[in-house]
Structure 1
């Protein structure tokens, strides 16, 4: 997936309050290649439950830290997810930060930002 497409997908995902079939398919297509054949993706629709997304991140980015923050006082909450390779150092090559009113969307956006920031294989 091209960088511009991923940026557009992330922007759409962070703004969405729910996922239609087209957005769900686009996220699924963007996430599939990171497993290089050994990543187990959840059954239809499961990719978008918070538990399944956390499990997906755990499989795709082993040993990475997941930091979630939110404000319950905002309408629908306001979630920020940060994915980092290290909690100790500040020199991570790639950091994924996603924001959304929907927790699963913030997690997925952060994962997509990590995917986009990783060096491409030639």
Structure 2
């Protein structure tokens, strides 16, 4: 889902081209991350995977137009990988790889620290003094 959103940021007709080189680099980095994540799910040796990995390994070229063209090619390669994943969506195991863990809330962490501190205090109080 996030990969499709990033691709839409680059390829959508209404989305403007990135203005600065930093924006181009950030979008290219995000697309490289999506390519590496999707590469786990796609069967190895797929032509879309090979071309996407080749584009991802190349750096962003200097200059206004070459960097934007490279960004569009990365987005198109990511879009091809998304299509390959959807075509190969018969195995449920890769979906568990992409699942993200929720971060525990602050109060849960505070409660755990308090419980450990209380247990240490009780243990220290129960040790005989010599």
On whether the aligned pair clears a TM of 0.5, the verdict is no
What's the TM-score, normalizing by structure 1?
A: 0.37
Q: Answer 1 or 2: which has greater strand percent.
A: 1
TM-score, normalized by length of structure 2? 0.35
More relative contact order, 1 or 2 (CA 8 Å, 6+ apart): 2
Question: Higher helix share goes to which structure?
Answer: 2
